[in-house]
Amino acid sequence: MLKIWIMPIFICFSLGIFAEKSNPILIKKNIIKRIIIRKKNPYL
């Protein structure tokens, strides 16, 4: 059950890193998104 949840998260995380390396503008957007998500869901 855990593998089903971990795999998509890992894929999204690795794709996010790849996108950040290719486009520095996305870094700022992703950081802002993560801050907003963490404010909404402090458990993440």
Tell me the per-residue pLDDT of 12-30, one tens digit each, with 9 for 90 and over. Answer: 777 766 665 667 776 788 7
**Residue 30 vs residue 42, higher pLDDT:** 30
Residue 16 · residue 31 · CB < 8 Å: no
Query: Rounded CA gap, 30 and 44, in Å?
Result: 15
> Domain range for residue 33?
2-40
Q: How many domains does the chain have?
A: 1
Please indicate whether residue 38 or residue 44 has the higher confidence score (pLDDT).
38
Mean of the per-residue pLDDT values of the chain? 72
pLDDT at 22: 66
Asked if 20 and 27 count as a contact pair (C-beta separation under 8 A), the reply is yes
Range 3-11 average pLDDT: 72
Q: What share of the chain is helix, strand, coil (3-state, %, to 5)?
A: 85, 0, 15
